[in-house]
Each structure stands twice: as C-alpha cells, then as structure tokens.
Chains A and B, each alone.
Chain A
C-alpha cells in the first residue's frame, strides 16, 4: 500500500498494447518486500541477541502480545478499548477543529476584517508544539477529557484553516465574475463557487490535521488518562514492557495509514476534478 505518493508516476507514460502492465503495482510490491526485509532483520537482531530482547523483543513475541492485548488487555482495558478511546478523542477533536477552522479559513480568505482577526491567531498557533501549550490547557481546563480533546483540536486548527483559506482563494476571478453576472448574491457565490472549489483543499487540510492529531494524541494522554493508546504505551514503557510499546506504536501507525487511505479514497470519489486542473 502506498499512501505517500500517487500510484501514477508522472514521468512514465502508459504504453498501449502490453498484455499486463506491472508498473502500477511496483510500489506495492517493493513496499511489501521492504516491510518483510525489515521484519526479517528485526527477527534476526533479537533472536541472535544483537540487541537485548528487553529493548527489542522478537516479532513473534510482539505478535503474541498483540493477541494477548486483544483478548486480555493491558492496564485494565483491551486493545480495542484503548484504540476506541483514542479514536474518539482524535475524531471529536477533528469535529471541533473543523467546526472552527473551516469557517475561519473562509473568513480569512473572503473578509479583510476576518483576516485581520484570525490570521494572527492561526499563525500564532501553527508553529507551536502541542507539548508547549499542554500544561497551560491543563491549568485552565483541568485534567479531564475536554483538555485532551482541546489539545488535539488546537493542533488541528491551523492546517485546516490554512488549507481552507487557500482553497477558497483558488477560485479564478472570472469564475466569481461569471456567477455574479448570473445574479448570484455574495452568499451564493460562496456556496456555488468558492466552497465547491475549496473542497479538495479542505480534504487535504483534514488529512494533514489527522496526522497532527495522531502526533498530539500521545502527548495528550500523558496526563491523567486511564485509557487510550498513548496511555497504554506510556504505562508499558514505565515497566519496560517493550512488546506492548511496539504493538501500541504499530496500531497507531496502522490506524493513521487506514484513515489516510480512506481520505484519499473520499478525495477521489468526491473531488475527481482536482487531479485535472
């Protein structure tokens, strides 16, 4: 599976009249092989004790602990419960972030006042590492669930707002003029021209935001969590239960790749024109 690049390489032209075209599959095949080689080296490294098994348990043990996590769980919750809690945090954060950031992006792109008010805010938030404002959020909002969601949401606002604004700005002057000459009101120009045109950028923004969200998740679950993948990883790390740590990392990776793939699919289904501009 390739989520980092499109399957189609712009440098290679399709050749007609061949029985089977291997090229679209090359990234998949190479990717699978690379993964297998990494697992093989991992296996060799731990079974031959190149690295202490305490630090790097063998793949088989990690797999057994993966099954064990599903069946018995760790720190009072099964793997599904941990993952479910984390997913709920990331997606409720995404919901609130989008609720704020999409209108904010629209205002930044369409209103000088909106831009004046919101642009500095977004630019202030954008480069800040979540770990830097986490303590402040906790002081202000306590150690409960809202703080965790807020921290994750804060890390998602800038990418969504910035992508939305650039998407809204991507409408050409003549497209806007065309709608105006058909008698569209300012609001109709927004709903009929600016927003549909911005949709590909908004989806891209959400993709980037989800990436940021997963990154922030572990930090957010540092403090006073009793469930969640980040919490599971940290608890296991304190007792050097390295296999659980590795399972946690792999599950987060798998989840974020899965959602990345889903979003790319949505992009293809809902905004097929964005590849043809």
Chain B
C-alpha cells in the first residue's frame, strides 16, 4: 500500500532579494493512500495549485516534507503523474504520441508504446483517434488525452489540477464518470483539485476544504458516492439523493464561511 504524505507543509513564495511573501500554505498535513481519491476544495487563491505543485515536486515547500511510503521526495517523478488545467499537451505530437511520451522516456520500443497508448486512448473513449493532431481535438478530447497520458506512466499517484474546469456542464459530468472508472482501473491514489463541490463529492473518497490567507485545512470529510456509481447506480440519481444534497450544501456553507472570515 503506497501512501503519498504531505507533512506540515508551509509555503511562502520568495519575492526576490531573500524577501518572503505572505504565507500561502500554513502547516498543511494531508495523505493520499492507494485506492483513495482525495478532492481539494477552496476558493480562488486559497493555495490549491500551490499544494498540488508541492505534492508533484514542482516546487519545494518552505517547511515540511513530502514523502512516499516514508521516503522523502525532493523533485518530481517517482510515480506521480499530473493532469494540468491547461492540457499541457505537445502540439507537435499527435494524440497517440502524446500519450506514449512517458513510455518513450522510459525507453519502451515503438510497437509496445503504440499498443499501450491506443489501449489508454480507448479507455478514455478516444478509440481510433490516436492519429489525430492535437489542434483538431475539442477541449474535452484534449483533457482526455491528458488523462490518458498521465495514466500511461502507470503512476501510483494521479494529481489533477482542475482538469475539467474548462468544460461545459454535460461534458464535465461524462468526464467525471470517466475519471472515476480510470481511477478504479489504475488502482492509483488520486488528488483532485476542483472548484465544483458536486464534482468533489461525486468522485472523491475524501473531500478537503482549504481556507485562504494562509491556506489551511478547515474540513475533511469521508464520502462514498463514487463507489455507488461504480457499483452501477446512475450518476444523476446519486447527485439528486437527499443525502448527497445535504452534504453538498454543508460543504458550500463551509467554503462560504471561509470567505466571510476573510471579508471581516
């Protein structure tokens, strides 16, 4: 059982000349286990992206440490794949070669790369579209290529920064379902940043609320609506379940409260 742990993470961005900026994250402790799906909610500027960048190893925290199974991590890699809000795909590669890039970097031969990439594309509903140029794909298709590419490295942890943020409501719901299934198949631990309370509740096994200035965890809630979907219940039925709605409203209140506290 692998576990990605953020331990007592604090962060303030340097402002040059060794000057410290305001505290962006204050003593955040968080863990993502294999088979866990952690969703992070919080208003804009609460430090969600900063937290994910630290988890991914893109930036170093000012205090605290990132460990995987107790081993401290200094940089990116080590089984953590990232899905970016701007898809971060490579325009000079077609969909298949984008997905196959992690495999190429690992030195797999062309045939195997192709096979695995095509299988992953099929898994995200893009069967037979591997030859398409990136700029001919819609926003939703690009995000799916991005998800397939992250899965290609067979990560132990899947880190996602608002991967569905730019999509319309209908596409977004389909993508949430796709994400849940992909996560289940991959058996990875997932960390998802989102603005949508409904999305967080639907896909996650644990929902965390981050309050801003400085960013800190004010709420942590275990839920299991995603499991119901994976067991065959309809997504809309789950999302209109009174229990779902009650928790959704409670979380919205909690986030709203963090705003009020800032305002006063």
Contact = CB atoms under 8 A, between A and B. Distances in A.
A and B from one complex = yes
B84 A178 contact: yes
Interface string A247-277: 0000000000000000000000001111011
B185 to A, nearest CB: 20
A19 B225 CA distance: 56
B13 interface: no
Nearest to A184: B105
B53 to A, nearest CB: 8
Q: Which size class do B's interface residues fall under?
A: 20 to 34
Interface string A199-211: 1000000000000
Interface in B115-151: 133-135, 149
B88 A178 contact: yes
Contact of B81 (A181, A188, A274): A181
Contacts of A180: 58, 75-77
B91 A178 contact: no
| A interface SS class | helix
Given A174-B84, A174-B86, A177-B82, A192 B135 contact: no
Nearest to B102: A182
A193 B134 CA distance: 15
Interface string A160-183: 000000000000101101111111
Given A188-B105, A199-B92, A182 B153 contact: yes
A197 B91 CA distance: 8
Contact of A273 (B56, B84, B86, B133): B133
Contacts of A135: none
Contacts of A182: 77, 81, 101-102, 105-106, 153
Nearest to B161: A174
A177 B76 contact: yes
B91 A276 contact: yes
Nearest to A274: B91
A197 B134 CA distance: 14
B90 interface: yes
A77 to B, nearest CB: 44
A196 interface: yes
Contacts of B88: 172, 174-175, 177-178
Contact of B58 (A177, A196, A276): A177
Interface string B189-219: 0000000000000000000000000000000
B105 A181 contact: no
B87 to A, nearest CB: 8
B80 interface: yes
A196 B88 CA distance: 14
A183 B77 contact: yes
B84 to A, nearest CB: 4
A177 B56 contact: yes
A183 B79 CA distance: 9
Interface centre among A172, A177, A181, A197 (most CB of B within 10 A): A181
11 contacts: A172-B86, A174-B88, A177-B82, A178-B82, A179-B105, A180-B76, A183-B106, A192-B101, A196-B92, A197-B92, A273-B91
Given A181-B58, A272-B133, 4 more contacts: A179-B101, A182-B105, A182-B153, A196-B90
